[in-house]
Structure 1
Amino acid sequence: MEYEEKRIIGYSRQRMFDVVADVAEYKHFIPWCRDSTVFDSKDNTKLAKLSIGFPPIMESYTSRVIMLRPSIVKSTVICDSLFKTLETSFIFSEGKQPDTCHLHYHLQFEFKSSLHAQFAHLFFDKVVKAMVGAFLNRAEELHGKPTIPHEKPQILHYQS
């Protein structure tokens, strides 16, 4: 399953980078994230254990998060039995107005289990729409109202 979008949002890329790079806080604002613990952090890389719950399923996995301030946050699952692949990337570039940026978001994942895959197909649309929204809501909680209304996403790729 794969989803990709881009849009202009009303926060600077530095502020959005800080929200997305703060993996330890995901458990407080990402839907279905039940736990997020960073257990190693060096230079521009973090290793984190994340637990996700889509009742009745609860699973954990480990991700390597690579960050290039203030432009890129990329997460890749490692050493896992749940996913064949799970990659997310947030790319932020300067907006044309002050305190705005272009967001390019990409999510690709495939479960190893056919049961998990069937379950994911049922909720894929809801999950991808909620993910970026959760980060934008967190930015508003931390930084106040956006400087401009966020654009609706331009969906570049959608495959469930």
Structure 2
Amino acid sequence: MPSYSSSHKVNHNAGDMFRLVADVEQYPQFVPLCQDLHVRGRKELENGATVLVADMTVAYKLFKETFTSRVELRPDEHTILVEYLDGPFKHLENTWTFEDLGEGTSNVGFYISYEFRSRTLGSLMGVMFDRAFRKFSSAFEARADEVYGT
């Protein structure tokens, strides 16, 4: 099963980076391959977490697919957990972590594992998805610089 992980130091605090990644409605403006994102519902949990159910449409050339995920935002832990619900994948799991390092910097951790239902689709899209995931860190860091300043 393909997976990708990265850990990246950024010049923004963990809270700001958490809020930036948690603002999923803005993804079509800057996330590679994200053409559209629609939040179906949002629920506040008693533990301070928020759960979203969101449809994300990814597109590249002739390829266009929409998938649905459950996104759990845990601000007290600076963690975001994404659980796949429906779409072209057999499996998709994604985790974001944010750790303050001091002096306005933080470490952003990103992990994703996925498997397409169709081997053909997996063969066609696998390399392109890997490239996109490798660009995620820089896309979010550039967005943070735009939103919060450098």
| 2:81 matched residue in structure 1 | 74
1:22 corresponds to: 23
- Give CA-to-partner distance per residue, 1:31-90, whole Å, 9 cap, x none: 111100111001110111110002211000111000111510111110x24001112111
Gap regions ≥5 residues in structure 1? 146-160
Query: Is this contact kept in 1: 2:80–2:96, CA < 8 A?
Result: yes
Please give the root-mean-square deviation of Cα atoms over the aligned residues, in Å: 1.3
Q: Cα 1:39–1:81, aligned 2, differ >3 Å: closer, same or farther?
A: closer
Q: Which segments of 5 or more consecutive residues in structure 2 lack a partner in the other structure?
A: 45-49
**Which secondary structure does the structure 2 equivalent of 1:31 belong to?**
coil
Give the counterpart letter for 1:116 in structure 2. Answer: L
CA distance in 2, matches of 1:51, 1:66: 19
Q: What is the aligned partner in structure 2 of residue 35 from structure 1? A: 36
Alignment partners' CA distance in 2, 1:81 and 1:128? 19
Counterpart residue identity of residue 112, structure 1? R
Question: 2:138 pairs with 127, 130, 133, which one?
Answer: 133
Taking structure 1 as the reference length, the TM-score comes to: 0.84
Code of the aligned partner of 1:22: D
TM-score by length of 2: 0.90
**Percent of residue pairs identical:** 27
Report the Cα offset of residue 135 of structure 1: 1.0
Q: Where does residue 156 of structure 1 map in the other structure?
A: none
Counterpart of 1:151 in structure 2 is: none
Between the aligned partners of 1:5 and 1:139, the Cα distance in structure 2 is: 17
- 1:29, 1:7 → 2: CA distance? 18
